[in-house]
Amino acid sequence: MKITLFKKLLVLLPLMLLLYSCGTTDTVTVVDRSPETATERPADDAQQPQDEFQQLKVGLLEPVTNFDPLFADNLSTMRVIALIYDGLFKLNHEGEPEPALVREFSVSDDGRLYEIKINRDLYYHDSNVFSAGVGRRIHAEDVRWSFERTAKVDVPPTASQLLMNVTGYENYFTEQRTVYDESKRVLDRITGIEVVDAETIRFTLNQPDDAFLQKLASPYLSIYPREAVQNSAGGLRNTPVGTGAYVLNSAEDREIVLNRNPSPRFADQIEKYPINRIDFTHQISEAEMFQSFAREEIDWLPELGPQIKNQVTGSDSNLLPTYENQFILIQNGAKRHTLIYLNQHRDHNLSFLKGRLSQLNTEQLTSPGTISFDPFEPSDSDSEEDTPSEIYIPFTDSPFARVLFTDINNAVIQPEASLAFLDIRAVTPESSLYSSSTDSFHYRFFNSRNYAGYWLSADSIIIGIHHSYIDGIMPTSVPWLLPLEGLSVDRPERDAS
């Protein structure tokens, strides 16, 4: 009887393996070791560090409405997603690239060929996007697929600016964005991105680029599994899956909660990331945000908006004496850039607007930072005969842009007319002025393509404040970096609750 049972098992074993592998659409997703559930622990669980629970509450300047890295449209979103995802590289406090998902890499003598070996000991977060609910190992195909997705017509083009120097990328991007009938497309891949094997990927550049590794460290080029896009109704927007230190717990209204990665495979990183839970909050007004911070309902404001910055800091960007004994200020080496444009394609009211904007001077603008612009020279054709009652602006979440628009309105538009926000975020023929925001890291790479033709630029140093019971926050030159490694919160009465 034992022999018969053994023969039956031999027959069933290939069938079981076949059924197991059918739970995925790509061979990349095969788990190459025994599956484990999210709650299983290694055999030496008794030796795993038992850390004291620590909770951190962070105030965000802008709302986070999308967890897909390609849709990150503000610095607050980048700060959150950078904790959930990893890129091939990351930036240290000085802004220098360091390996993240990379085990080793080499660069050819001519600076055009990068061969990168990823660390296949790293796993994605446990998630229902995988057939077994267990995160799989990363694969070089994930890098290729994530980077090809940056060129697709259904995602913003922002990330593509970082990859335009990769051989074949611009042609692939152009075809994806202009040939809408897929059957007529010729290019099925980017020639300069080659998957050599499961752990090796090779990039070929058109021209040498000393900043290529820095570009690979941008949150826009985070790496994620295709299952998270294809096997979830909302894709990464609602179900982010990465390899980062934190996973999404909940996102409701203006509150986002991240938990430290609970997988047993992350156990060796616990000492590096001592914060168990991070609560992010965005409030409607800066005044409300500052009041919550003053009441210690918020522990840390990593970036001050223009109103709070004007309230608590002086012209030297240091804390005013009133607040020196209450808060700790962090001056970072990174900047936020806010750009204001005149819609030159709009003829209606353009003469009136140019005439008024020609009267503006920097003393009339209260937004903190360095402001530069070229005043319009009024011509004989610039008249106010057709004075509008309202001049329209696309809606923006940027508090810096809103302050600039308010100052412009108060200084040179009123009382004959007024600036008014439309209920649309896109620049339309109805828009006379519009804005865009970026940071000092991406600005230098995007400037020639994305931000040409602006009329006014406001550059503001990123300043944060936190309470004294937080230890370990360091200044950084990276605009989106939240330095959580080694950070501690000494609030036992709040954490215990």
The whole-model pTM stands at 0.87
Query: Is the confidence at residue 24, as pLDDT, over 70?
Result: no
355-393 pLDDT tens trace: 899 999 989 998 888 999 887 776 555 455 567 889 999
Burial 286-314 (b: 16+ CB within 10 A, else e): beebbebbeeeebbbbbbbbbbbbeebbe
Mean pLDDT for the chain overall: 87
Q: Nearest to residue 262, comparing CAs of 32, 492, 51?
A: 51
Residues 6+ apart with CB under 8 A from 442: 218, 220
Task: Return the CA Rg of the chain.
Answer: 26
* The predicted structure's pLDDT at residue 11: 45
Residues 6+ apart with CB under 8 A from 311: 290
Domain residue spans in the chain? 86-228, 335-463
Give the pLDDT band (50/70/90) at residue 452. Answer: confident
CA distance 301 to 465: 5
Distances (CA, A) of 70 to 73, 148, 241, 326, 441: 8, 12, 14, 38, 16
Chain centre distance of CA 282: 16
Q: Nearest to residue 427, comparing CAs of 348, 341, 352?
A: 341
Check residue 354 and report its DSSP letter: H
Among 22-26, 54-58, 321-325, 473-477, the range scoring the smallest mean pLDDT is 22-26
Decide which of 264 and 7 is more confident.
264
CA distance 298 to 378: 48
At 174 the three-state DSSP class reads: helix
Decide which of 58 and 269 is more confident.
58
CA distance 231 to 224: 13
79-137 pLDDT tens trace: 999 999 999 999 999 999 999 999 999 999 999 999 999 999 999 999 999 999 999 99
CATH architecture for segment(s) 86-228: Alpha-Beta Complex (3.90)
- For 455, phi then psi, to 5°, come to -95, -40
Across the range 281-306, mean pLDDT stands at 96
